[in-house]
Amino acid sequence: MYPQLTALILFGIVTGFSPGPNNIMTSYCAFNYGFRKTIPTMLGVITGWTVLIVILEAGSIVMFQKFNDLQFIVKIFGSVYLLYMAYKIFITKIDSINSVMKPVTFLSTFFFQFINPKSIVVGLITVSTFIDAQNNYLRDCIVVTIVFFFMAVGSQLTWCLMGKYLKKFASSQKFTQNFNYTMSFLLIVCVIMFYV
């Protein structure tokens, strides 16, 4: 039995379900495009996050320890991408949402995991805290991967449904525009929190 399972699950709930770039983008897409068109967005996050965890488990944590500048470069690229997403969400016109109908793609959210500061920091903390490299390394890796996979599925579905059902209360274009402004602002707040 994995001795830290309860702590791992609690850590996964806090980090997975709290507001962050992935959850905000998913909620935004579901609000504007509906559940079905948000599925690729969610699958990109879930798949990318799981692959990131496996890569970190396989030893890339050593690279960040050896090359401190690499972690800073990843943080900068992730921040720039988030600011770009915030800008795109902010300037989106309601008419263009209805006519274009293009939510964030699978590939965008998949590759974003590798420059998303929150994903990388959470992944590094998880691997360094919950995996014993000396004893039961394989067992720990399997448990961590499974737990965080299901946390990703749960958080993405939760935030998607929140966005989708919030749309039912949107009785005007002004409400929709204000929702997009709020999502844009929250992404900017995420970036600021990476540096505080």
Structure token digits, residue 71: 């972690």
d(CA 183, CA 189): 10
Containing 124, the helix (H) or strand (E) segment is helix 117-130
**Residue-range domain boundaries for the chain:** 5-194
Rg (CA), the chain: 17
d(CA 93, CA 95): 5
Q: Which of 152, 179, 185, 192 is nearest to 28 (CA)?
A: 179
Spatial contact of 149 and 46, defined as CB atoms under 8 Å apart:
yes
Distance of CA 194 to the CA centre of its chain: 14
The backbone torsions φ and ψ at residue 12, rounded to the nearest 5 degrees and listed phi first, read: -65, -40
Contacts of residue 185, Cβ cutoff 8 Å, sequence gap at least 6: 86
pLDDT at 97: 45
pLDDT at 71: 62
pLDDT at 158: 94
Spatial contact of 27 and 33, defined as CB atoms under 8 Å apart:
no
pLDDT at 147: 95
The pLDDT tens digits along the chain (196 residues) read 578 888 888 888 888 888 788 998 999 899 989 999 999 999 999 999 999 999 998 875 566 667 767 767 776 876 787 788 788 778 876 554 444 447 789 999 999 999 888 888 888 888 878 888 778 888 989 999 999 999 999 999 999 998 988 877 665 677 777 877 887 887 788 678 767 6
d(CA 184, CA 24): 9
Spatial contact of 191 and 93, defined as CB atoms under 8 Å apart:
no
Q: Which of 155, 160, 194, 135 is nearest to 32 (CA)?
A: 160
pLDDT at 98: 47
pLDDT at 53: 94
